[in-house]
A = this chain, B = another copy of it.
């Protein structure tokens, strides 16, 4: 029951990117659960990863490989996270990378592994190895939708986004896919996100842009406050567009790229929220008037995580007092509650820290009714702001997560 999630878009081939997939039946039979991206020689690859100390073996291996050499292959499986698996987890991740590297004749460091699924169970590396030949033989430039489907776990729909832009007479494309629906509170990365462009760009510049944009997209979404062990987000610039290499983040072309890249990253991040486990609402929590941006971020996340706010959203119940209660406990120093204002969609709900003079229960009900909810909190203390996107909390969420392993 995804909220306002668009159909998977039509994504054209991006010169320098081929996509393959195969059925390894890791957790369930007849599921195409292995995806391979093949990148052209010379493509710049940047990555950001989970800050969870219990990060998965593939995450640690990715970071190691990325630091060593240019990546040529991304190898992704769903159904098993290969996290909390200790030394043998690392051996298994390496084993799958080796199998792919040997098939295609690249060094093992040129393969980046990604896993998502159940935590703590041994990775069935043999199943993945067995599926690699089929994945390689299916490599083409237009398998975007199959890749989007191939990386799904509890997602109900595949998630993709694409933007085109022109600069100096040349056309560029930015496109990507993502997955994730639960255990979503990315910290420096997302569940799994892959964004590709045909722009030619220095790896360091791409890494800097990725790090900045992730903080306004994937790092500002939350479904259930649980940061995954496997969050990974990768950006690839193949150079297929034929432009002169971008080496300056301040250059006009880099800025044009950032606009398109941010749109793709935000759309992919929002897609994860719209498909959040059990979601019936897509909720934007905007906090402004903060003294510090960190205050705005903190309040926005606390509101987005509150089970009481989320269950009221599920019920479309204008129990807005719960929102004020969260603002009050969020730990903002020297908060003057008598200056707090609250809007929901276009309705003024609270002014000067209490119910607005003209407020009627009907207003609250009308404000809370739509599937798209914009909560706007003004702390009345300064100029800083931040925005977080989240979902409500429904029976379906409990059902999905109580039954996850069955």
A-B contact pairs, 26 of them (CB 8 A): A52-B325, A52-B329, A53-B329, A54-B327, A54-B329, A83-B321, A84-B325, A84-B353, A84-B355, A86-B338, A86-B353, A86-B355, A119-B321, A120-B321, A120-B355, A183-B325, A187-B329, A224-B308, A225-B307, A226-B326, A227-B325, A229-B321, A229-B325, A317-B405, A319-B404, A397-B398
Q: Which of A359-406 contact B (CB under 8 A)?
A: 393-395, 397-399, 401-406
Q: Cβ of A22 < 8 Å from any Cβ of B?
A: no
Q: Is B52's CB under 8 angstroms from A317's CB?
A: no
Set of chain B residues within 8 Å of A225, measured between Cβ atoms: 305-307
Q: Is B86's CB under 8 angstroms from A332's CB?
A: no
Q: How far is the CA of A335 from the CA of B52 in the complex (A)?
A: 10
Q: Cβ of A258 < 8 Å from any Cβ of B?
A: no
Q: Is B226's CB under 8 angstroms from A120's CB?
A: no
Q: Which of A304-362 contact B (CB under 8 A)?
A: 305-308, 311-312, 314-315, 317, 319-322, 324-329, 332, 335, 337-338, 340, 350, 352-355
Q: How far is the CA of A19 from the CA of B160 in the complex (A)?
A: 64
Q: How far is the CB of A323 from the nearest CB of chain B, in Å?
A: 9
Q: Cβ of A140 < 8 Å from any Cβ of B?
A: no
Known contacts A120-B321, A183-B325, A321-B118; is-contact A332 B53 (Cβ 8 Å): yes
Set of chain B residues within 8 Å of A337, measured between Cβ atoms: 53-54
Q: Cβ of A89 < 8 Å from any Cβ of B?
A: yes
Q: Cβ of A55 < 8 Å from any Cβ of B?
A: yes
Which B residue's beta carbon lies closest to that of A326?
Answer: B226
Pick the residue among B51, B306, B332 that contacts A329 (CB under 8 A): B51
Which B residue's beta carbon lies closest to that of A87?
Answer: B354
Q: Is A53's CB under 8 angstroms from B328's CB?
A: yes
Known contacts A86-B353, A354-B85; is-contact A306 B226 (Cβ 8 Å): yes
Set of chain B residues within 8 Å of A322, measured between Cβ atoms: 119, 183, 226
| A→B interface (CB under 8 Å) | 51-55, 81, 83-86, 88-89, 118-121, 182-183, 187, 224-229, 305-308, 311-312, 314-315, 317, 319-322, 324-329, 332, 335, 337-338, 340, 350, 352-355, 393-395, 397-399, 401-406
Q: Known pairs A52-B328, A89-B354, A224-B307. 7 more at Cβ < 8 A?
A: A53-B329, A54-B325, A83-B325, A84-B325, A120-B320, A226-B308, A308-B401
